[in-house]
């Protein structure tokens, strides 16, 4: 009899395919598969080596369910401003994708999503060197292992978004902006400044922009002026009721430009620490404001002045350790040479009359600035210590709050309170000037458990005595830059991008990796 032996080919071992692919990466082959670049190649290799190259997303019985969760998570990330095609969404939905490519791309997508949700799509150091805040990083490989062990890919990724109420509120406003009607057809054309008493087609368009569709006269009346003022206040502009160039630019922005700005600020929230203290101070540079938060609730607010666009206030966090009544101002070397030296050469007596004094090399005592011949001193040869005595003309005013940092930035009073009447207040050389410094002193002392009345504080200032007050428990201070946020009334507020930081973020968010 003739016997036939049927030879059945051995099933390919998926772990062998994975191992061979990863070995090719070790050999220097570019991290690509199925004509798609990978974003998390090193972490991907570490993940599979930790599990002996066993597949996850293509392995029965849970693989299809897990990859379905991943796809839903990627789709939902679009609501946060993510470009979903950067996470292989189109590829993962293909029916003809090879098992190896599906496995590798799914893992790369999870690892990249985890990193971007937790720390932001963009490394802030590459786009904004003056941003010095960071979040605590979790290991995305450990997160993936946790998600797989629990069968909860979607839930693990969801919890990585910032959990701050302000992030969630801004996210909700983004959803509202997405469904707004396109307003580009109602753009106000170029022309003269619009103000009360004028009339014409541009006034009609202005009314439709501010008041919505309706039948209106073409008169710029008192009611329209009040509407313009309300818009200007919300936009952080001087509320004069006149539609000049700055107001016109804000009015003509369509909903998609607002979404861009929201997305830039959602990204900034992803750069911030995940947990903020229960009690701390926060300065928002773009809003020219300081908020004192106690036990997670707004306790106190004030206007501030921040750095000029060419002397920007940096973004960082530190702790306030002490403050000083009637402080000396030790003029930073950069300000001494760039700002004060030309004034000293022109009229040293004028600066001496408002308290400026100088310590010359090899001398221990300060003398009046008029005792130095400044005519031959240049920025390069300037080797003096310049300071201003306490007093009503002192640049730091009656009190300064110290949070030691490498930028020499602190919070302080100012002798010129007229500038607080401006809506946009970028006037300093980088420090933060306070509209109510004695009020902050009271809040700081009260928070620190040091009982002093406002009258006691005023008496200390009036004494003209320089006095340092150390805090028993340093108070965290966060200086941030947020140009879009939801205010206490629940309305989204957009501030002018004083330092032109939004567009570079938007440009990178919209790029394919």
Domain spans in the chain, listed from the N-terminal domain onward? 14-162, 184-253, 276-327+390-482, 333-388
Closest CA to 111 of 146, 88, 141: 141
pLDDT at 9: 44
Tokens standing for residue 340: 């004060």
Identify the helix (H) or strand (E) that includes residue 470. strand 467-480
Tokens standing for residue 245: 């160039």
Identify the helix (H) or strand (E) that includes residue 489. none
Are 301 and 292 in contact by the 8 Å Cβ rule? The answer is yes
pLDDT at 127: 87
pTM score, whole prediction: 0.86
pLDDT at 255: 62
Report the DSSP beta bridge partners of residue 290: 283, 302
pLDDT at 214: 65
Mean pLDDT of the chain: 92
What is the rounded CA–CA span in Å between residue 354 and residue 358?
13
* Cis? peptide before 61, omega within 30° of 0: yes
pLDDT at 229: 87
pLDDT at 249: 86
pLDDT at 299: 95
pLDDT at 361: 85
The CATH number of the structural domain formed by 184-253 is 1.10.101.10
Convert 109-148 to b/e letters by CB count within 10 Å (16 or more is b). bbbbbbbbbbbbbbebeeebebbbbebeeeebbebbbebb
Q: Is residue 330 helix, strand or coil? A: strand
The tens place of each residue's pLDDT in the chain, 513 residues long, gives: 444 444 434 445 778 889 999 999 888 889 999 999 999 999 999 999 999 999 999 999 999 999 999 999 999 999 999 999 999 999 999 999 999 999 999 999 999 999 999 999 999 988 888 899 887 888 999 999 999 999 999 999 999 999 999 999 999 999 998 887 655 457 888 899 999 999 999 999 888 778 766 678 899 998 889 888 878 877 778 889 999 988 988 888 766 688 999 999 999 999 999 999 999 999 999 999 999 999 999 999 999 999 999 999 999 999 999 999 999 999 999 999 999 999 999 999 999 999 999 998 888 899 999 999 999 999 999 999 999 999 999 999 999 999 999 999 999 999 999 999 998 899 999 999 999 999 999 999 999 999 899 999 999 999 999 999 999 999 999 999 999 999 999 989 888 899 999 999 999 999 998
Are 284 and 482 in contact by the 8 Å Cβ rule? The answer is yes
Phi, psi of 470 (to 5 degrees): -90, 140
Answer CATH for 276-327+390-482 from 3.40.50.1370, 1.10.760.10, 3.30.365.10, 2.40.440.10 = 2.40.440.10
């Amino acid at each position: 009899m003739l016997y036939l032996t049927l030879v059945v080919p051995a099933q390919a071992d998926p772990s062998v395919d994975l191992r061979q692919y990863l070995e090719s990466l070790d050999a220097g082959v570019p991290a690509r598969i199925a004509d798609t670049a990978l974003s998390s190649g090193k972490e991907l290799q570490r993940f599979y080596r930790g599990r002996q190259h066993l597949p996850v997303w293509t392995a029965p019985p849970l693989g299809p369910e897990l990859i379905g969760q991943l796809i839903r998570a990627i789709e939902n990330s679009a609501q946060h401003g993510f470009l979903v095609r950067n996470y292989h969404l189109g590829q993962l939905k293909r029916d003809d994708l090879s098992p190896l490519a599906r496995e590798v791309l799914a893992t790369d997508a999870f690892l990249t999503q985890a990193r971007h949700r937790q720390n932001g799509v963009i490394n802030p150091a590459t786009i904004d060197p003056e941003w010095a805040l960071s979040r605590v990083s979790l290991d995305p490989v450990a997160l993936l292992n946790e998600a797989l062990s629990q069968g909860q890919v979607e839930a693990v990724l969801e919890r990585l978004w910032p959990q701050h109420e302000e992030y969630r509120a801004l996210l909700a406003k983004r959803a509202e902006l997405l469904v707004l009607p396109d307003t580009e057809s109602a753009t106000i054309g170029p022309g003269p400044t619009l103000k009360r008493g004028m009339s014409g087609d541009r006034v009609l368009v202005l009314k439709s922009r501010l008041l919505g569709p309706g039948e209106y006269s073409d008169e710029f009346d008192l009611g329209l002026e009040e509407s313009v003022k309300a818009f200007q206040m919300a936009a952080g502009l001087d509320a004069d009721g006149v539609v000049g160039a700055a107001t016109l630019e804000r009015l003509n922005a369509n909903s998609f430009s607002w979404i861009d700005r929201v997305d830039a600020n959602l990204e900034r929230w992803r750069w911030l620490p995940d947990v903020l203290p229960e009690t701390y101070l926060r300065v928002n540079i773009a809003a020219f404001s300081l908020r004192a938060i106690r036990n997670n609730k707004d306790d106190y607010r004030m206007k501030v002045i921040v750095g000029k666009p060419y002397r920007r206030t940096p973004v960082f966090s530190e702790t306030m350790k002490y403050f000083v009544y009637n402080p000396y101002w030790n003029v930073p070397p950069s300000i001494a040479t760039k700002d004060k030296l030309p004034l000293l050469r022109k009229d040293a007596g004028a600066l001496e009359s408002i308290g400026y004094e100088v310590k010359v090399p090899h001398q221990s005592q300060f003398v009046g600035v008029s005792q130095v011949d400044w005519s031959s001193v240049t920025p390069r040869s300037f080797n003096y210590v310049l300071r201003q005595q306490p007093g009503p003309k002192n640049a730091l005013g009656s009190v300064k709050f110290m949070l030691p940092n490498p930028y020499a930035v602190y919070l302080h009073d100012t002798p010129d309170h007229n500038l607080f009447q401006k809506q946009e207040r970028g006037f300093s050389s980088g420090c933060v000037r306070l509209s109510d410094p004695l009020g902050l002193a009271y809040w700081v002392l009260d928070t620190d458990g040091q009982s002093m009345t406002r009258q006691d504080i005023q008496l200390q200032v009036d004494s003209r005595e320089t006095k340092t007050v150390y805090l028993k428990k340093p108070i965290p201070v966060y200086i941030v830059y947020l140009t879009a946020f939801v205010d206490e009334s629940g309305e989204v507020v957009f501030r002018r991008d004083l330092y032109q930081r939004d567009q570079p973020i938007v440009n990178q968010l919209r790029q394919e990796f």
